[in-house]
Structure 1
């Protein structure tokens, strides 16, 4: 299996990814194992750091953040900052949900959410491009999200 997990651990993780609030009794029934075993396995997965946290998946459209965009950015090595320092500054911006240092033609990939494409533009022009260490950027607005995991 995956990283020392057996088939039941994988099924349990998948159930919790779908609904982290599902109760132990329901999980026990779905997995066909005793409630105490489900409780023990969840505790072990948390203790081993396989489950880092239980979280919520917001409905971004209802929060008026229905526009998602991905921004590719080039790092400017003449900035005097490391690429990691630049990425951390980007991560601190309002509206930024993910920052990845990547390989290939671009150096970073940034995920932002905003009420509209115009607001995404404001994040890029007024905030992101003002960060020392950011070179060129290209922005791609998502039309629809087919799959997204937390």
Structure 2
């Protein structure tokens, strides 16, 4: 059962989701606490695993990574060995930035990033399609990114 968060905890989390590099003094001021109790609350949220980690969100375009695709994957079977082998192959692939085991039409849904469509095509042909147990792949290419947010509604 998730811990009960009060209004101040939620304000702390909202502020840190917007700017994880905010100093404790800035955070305390924003949420209306003095620095010591603010830091105590942040540590409690970290210890409880609510704050999992702090990361830098990179701009892929600035790094020359201009292509994002979504790949639906169907496996030959859903037995433990086939699924486990596929999961290990995906976890070893830096191009796959998200992977979800699905209920529904396909077995997995992947979000894959690449420098361009040709680089993705090579990744698909030379890696994804060759993973043991993969029966079928279907790639969907988004035309426009409408929204991308990592903030969890509180």
The answer to whether TM tops 0.5 is yes
Runs of 4+ in 1 over 2 A off after TM superposition: 78-82, 142-145
The residue that corresponds to 1:134 in the other structure is 134
The residue that corresponds to 1:123 in the other structure is 123
State how 1:1-150 maps to structure 2 within 5 Å. 3-77=3-77, 81-145=81-145, 146-149=147-150
For residue 38 of structure 1, report the CA deviation from its aligned partner: 1.4
Give per-residue Cα distances to partners, 1:46-91, cap 9 Å, x unaligned: 1111111111100111111121111010111288823133122122
Return the alpha-carbon distance in structure 1 between the equivalents of residues 75 and 48 of structure 2: 36
* Count of residue correspondences: 149
- TM-score scaled by structure 1? 0.90
Where do 5+ consecutive residues of structure 2 fail to align? none
The answer (yes or no) to whether the contact 1:79–1:132 under 8 Å persists in 2 is: no
The answer (yes or no) to whether the contact 1:91–1:98 under 8 Å persists in 2 is: no
- TM-score scaled by structure 2? 0.88
Relative to 1, partners in 2 of residues 1:78 and 1:38: Cα closer, same or farther, differing over 3 Å? closer
For residue 143 of structure 1, report the CA deviation from its aligned partner: 2.8
RMSD: 1.9
Where do 5+ consecutive residues of structure 1 fail to align? none
The answer (yes or no) to whether the contact 1:78–1:133 under 8 Å persists in 2 is: no
